[in-house]
Amino acid sequence: MPNVVEHAAGARQFVTDEPRTDWHDQTLWFVRQKRDRMAHSLPEWETLRQWASQIKDHALANLSQYLERLEAQVEANGIQVHWAANAEEHNRIVEQIVRQSGGPGGVRVVKSKSMLTEECHLNDYLIRNGILVVDTDLGERIVQLRQEAPSHIVLPAIHLKKTDVSQTFARHLGTDPTNSDPQYLTEAARQHLREEFLGATVAITGVNFAVAETGTLVVCTNEGNADLGVHLADVHIACMGIEKVIPRQEHLGVFLRLLARSATGQPITTYSSHFVRPRPLSNGKRQAMHLILVDNGRSTQLGRPDFRNSLKCIRCGACFNTCPVYRRSGGHSYHNAVAGPIGSILAPNLDMKKNADLPFASTLCGSCANVCPVKIDIDKQLWLWRQELTRQGMAPVSKTLAMRLMSTVLSSPVLYGWSGKIGRRLMRLFPGLVSNRFNPWYRGREMPQPPQQSFGEWYRQQPKKHE
Amino acid sequence: MRVALFVPCYVDQFYPQVAIAMLRLLQQLGCTVDVPAGQTCCGQPMANAGFNSLSGPCFGQFNRVFVGHKIVVVPSGSCVLHLKEHNPAFEGQIYELCEFLTDVLAIKSLPDSSSSQRGTVRVGLHQSCHGQRGLRLAAMSERNEPAFSKPETLLRLVEGVELVPLNRADECCGFGGTFCVTEEAVSVKMGKDRVADHLRAGADVITGTDMSCLMHLEGILRRQGSTVQVKHIAEILYEC
């Protein structure tokens, strides 16, 4: 595995370009404000959140039952079900289905947005194995052309400006590099993607919600690209994490009302498509439909009582948009398919060592937990992951020693009093001892000015008048 | 009413005037204020860095010092939240200053506030996250809930204080405990953006319920050469 740049270093790099950081921050804050207007215009908003949270809690507590129910229902509808324990299994299953679907002209695969396939690095896998896969979500296609990872789960290319997109399209699609008009660029993407849609034999989609009661697979997009792909290809592969199952059709209304409002401040996604059974093809056969149910660490997370409810996530991205750290550090600094606050509590479950920095990429301000439409206590879990990482020996030795020293000094009135007094005196006499470039505080801030007396010293000199 | 004062370590060492203001304010409001000797730190710096196990000795010291004190008042939402969430062994009630004033003393006016002859001071209120979202000192913009703010209610009792409207009323300042040094770049950027919001609104003073946030914002203001001051809310409430 290549060396991962830790969040703090990635973030430092990101904020180097301050105007661009401001633009990134303001763009995402604009989305957060749109979300607020929607959330605040529904009197039942907090009730909806409560319901969504409870439905998910219930579904997770009875996950095995609902998954079996889903499997039975989906199979009864004529869809083939596959189970994948991890990313590798998932990718191999997709590969096999794709290979079986190949006509004489080979296979062409289109894929609509799916964070699960990002998590499994499906594109890399397929391309390594000689299978061409084209992302059809506009933002995903832009980052795919640039060979980048999405920087946001809902707005994958939010780190890019239209001029960046213009350059990318000029290089790959032959557009005019001096033209960054969104209308022009979108039209170029439409024409390019149309060819891909028309030539595709296999369409891969994610799944936002799978209804156990009916076996319905619900896919939400704004661009209609999932539908276009599925309706033109003879084979549909739907990939879902096992936590996406919800018990009943009537629960869907709760989630669909919350999802787009939380994500982009829309009342609902433009397309909320319900895929139930294979459609008939013009040649008299039926479309082949596959559902891949992927665990990839989810049952491990389910077994961690402190972190279980992170699986309630419906991938709306509201916690990204509200996170003051994410807005100023960009998605790539999180070096994980799912970035932001939710990514920071999901990632350590997948790879504790690689992602040990992420729970610390937060001020624990708690905004995330309060925008979350399914009420995941993200800030609490960030704190708990910090403790867990320390227990698992992930803290550097230097930090452990520093913390022990701090604890010793800060819990002893004598040591605390002395070190405070001496420290303040040194700071007054030799400000350069702390106000230097080796002190990370001082890089962007002045040190506090130490007073002659601490409060404790002052108080001891006061005449005792109270009894 | 008899209360004990817990002065967080960094307030004790760097901002004694905050604790003095709080002590005087509580006394003026008729409280008998104890300041038990031997108090140090709540243990939060270690806990937020992933070493809550090392908070233990601090909890032990806190519990020994404050044993028998039924009400402890603290000029920091963050320390109070940490003690409430992670130190269940303490049997007394712990309050952040503002919630103590609005919920327990239920004050409707401040001592001597009519005698104030100062001009108008434009004050920007920084909502510290742990107080606001953790202790629910104020409504938060994320939720669909009726507006309320305990610090603002108190500041409105002070004659001559004009609260300036911010673009982002409750965005984090970026202090975040050890975050301020481990993620120094983002921390400073967050602080600069908060400061800019207050400056744009025309604040002469930035106030709040947590001196740690204000220490961070003060560091940025001074680096910028700004004359805008930071003051803990206790300093504004007592001054009047």
pLDDT at B32: 97
Q: Burial of B181 by CB count in 10 Å (0-12 exposed, 13-18 middle, 19+ buried)?
A: middle
Same domain? For B89 and B120 the reply is no
> For residue range B183-212, what is the model confidence (pLDDT) as tens digits?
999 999 999 999 999 999 999 999 999 999
The β-bridge relationship of strands A133-135 and A109-111 is parallel
**How many other CB atoms are found less than 10 A from the CB of residue B145?**
14
Distance CA A206, CA A202 (A): 13
pLDDT at B113: 55
| pLDDT at position A345 over 80 | yes
> For residue range A316-332, what is the model confidence (pLDDT) as tens digits?
999 999 999 999 999 99
Distance CA A11, CA A440 (A): 15
Distance (Å) from the alpha carbon of B61 to chain A's nearest alpha carbon: 6
Within a domain: B110: no
> For residue range A112-143, what is the model confidence (pLDDT) as tens digits?
999 999 999 999 999 999 999 999 999 999 99
pLDDT at A282: 86
Which residues in chain A are contacts of B185 at CB distance < 8 A? 8, 11-12, 15, 444
A382 neighbors A345 (Cβ within 8 angstroms): yes
Same domain? For B128 and B225 the reply is yes
Q: What is the mean pLDDT of residues B152-179?
A: 96
Q: What is the mean pLDDT of residues A193-210?
A: 96
Within a domain: B215: yes
Angle at alpha carbon of residue A360, lines to A358 and A365, rounded to 5°: 115
Pick the CATH number of A42-296 from 1.20.1260.10, 3.20.20.70, 3.40.50.2000, 3.40.50.10420: 3.40.50.10420
**How many other CB atoms are found less than 10 A from the CB of residue A300?**
12
Full-model pTM: 0.96
Nearest CA to B6 among B93, B134, B125, B130?
A: B93
Q: Burial of B8 by CB count in 10 Å (0-12 exposed, 13-18 middle, 19+ buried)?
A: buried
> For residue range B15-42, what is the model confidence (pLDDT) as tens digits?
999 999 999 999 999 999 999 999 999 9
pLDDT at B52: 96
Nearest CA to A319 among A338, A333, A347, A298?
A: A338
B125 neighbors B152 (Cβ within 8 angstroms): yes
Q: Which of B14, B130, B195 to probe the A interface (max A CBs under 10 A)?
A: B14
The CA radius of gyration of chain B, in Å to the nearest whole number, is 17
pLDDT at A467: 45
Within a domain: B27: yes
Nearest CA to A238 among A121, A79, A87?
A: A79
Angle at alpha carbon of residue B54, lines to B52 and B59, rounded to 5°: 85
Same domain? For B9 and B99 the reply is yes
CA-CA-CA-CA torsion sign (B132, B138, B139, B140) = negative
> For residue range A414-443, what is the model confidence (pLDDT) as tens digits?
999 999 999 999 999 999 999 998 999 999
What are the distances in angstroms from CA B69 to CA A11, B24, B33, B109? Answer: 45, 19, 11, 26
Which residues in chain B are contacts of A466 at CB distance < 8 A? 32-34
Which CATH number covers residue B129? 3.40.50.10700
| pLDDT at position A74 over 90 | yes
Q: Which of B11, B136, B142, B231 to probe the A interface (max A CBs under 10 A)?
A: B142
Within a domain: B199: yes
* Residue finishing a domain among B104, B124, B153: B104
Mean of the per-residue pLDDT values for chain A? 96
Which residues in chain A are contacts of B56 at CB distance < 8 A? 407
Nearest CA to A327 among A382, A355, A357, A368?
A: A368
| Of B14, B43, B174, Cβ closest to residue A363 | B174
Distance CA A466, CA B2 (A): 11
Nearest CA to B124 among B199, B218, B213, B192?
A: B199
**Are the beta carbons of B172 and A443 separated by less than 8 Å?**
no
Same domain? For B57 and B132 the reply is no
Same domain? For B100 and B125 the reply is no
Distance (Å) from the alpha carbon of B172 to chain A's nearest alpha carbon: 6
Distance CA B222, CA B204 (A): 14
Same domain? For B219 and B142 the reply is yes
Q: What is the mean pLDDT of residues A385-399?
A: 96
Structural element, H or E, at residue B65: helix B56-66
Q: What is the mean pLDDT of residues B82-100?
A: 97
CA-CA-CA-CA torsion sign (A254, A299, A305, A346) = negative
Q: What is the mean pLDDT of residues A52-61?
A: 98
* Residue finishing a domain among B104, B138, B169: B104
Range with lowest mean pLDDT among A91-105, A202-216, A381-395, B160-174: A91-105
Within 8 A by CB and 6+ apart from A198, the residues are A232
Nearest CA to B79 among B27, B120, B41?
A: B41
Q: Report the chain B residue with the minimal C-alpha distance to residue A41.
A: B144
pLDDT at A3: 63
Which residues in chain B are contacts of A400 at CB distance < 8 A? 51
> For residue range A241-289, what is the model confidence (pLDDT) as tens digits?
999 999 999 999 999 999 999 999 999 999 999 999 999 988 889 999 9
**Domain positions in chain A:** 42-296, 397-461
| Of B57, B179, B215, Cβ closest to residue A411 | B57
Same domain? For B45 and B121 the reply is no
Same domain? For B41 and B135 the reply is no
Q: Please count the structural domains in chain B.
A: 2
CA-CA-CA-CA torsion sign (A125, A128, A132, A138) = positive
A465 pLDDT band, cuts 50/70/90, is: low
- DSSP states of A343-363 as a string? HHHHHHHH-TTTTTTGGGS--
Q: What is the mean pLDDT of residues B88-114?
A: 92
Distance (Å) from the alpha carbon of A362 to chain B's nearest alpha carbon: 7
Same domain? For B122 and B60 the reply is no
A297 pLDDT band, cuts 50/70/90, is: very high
Same domain? For B24 and B86 the reply is yes
- Which domain covers residue B165, as residue numbers? 116-239
Distance CA B17, CA B11 (A): 8
pLDDT at B119: 83
Distance (Å) from the alpha carbon of B5 to chain A's nearest alpha carbon: 11
* Residue finishing a domain among B83, B104, B125: B104
Within 8 A by CB and 6+ apart from B82, the residues are B42, B43, B44, B47, B48, B55, B130
Which CATH number covers residue B76? 3.40.50
Q: Which residue has the higher pLDDT, A313 or A465?
A: A313
Same domain? For B177 and B71 the reply is no
A22 pLDDT band, cuts 50/70/90, is: very high
Same domain? For B235 and B126 the reply is yes
SS3 A77: coil
Mean of the per-residue pLDDT values for chain B? 96
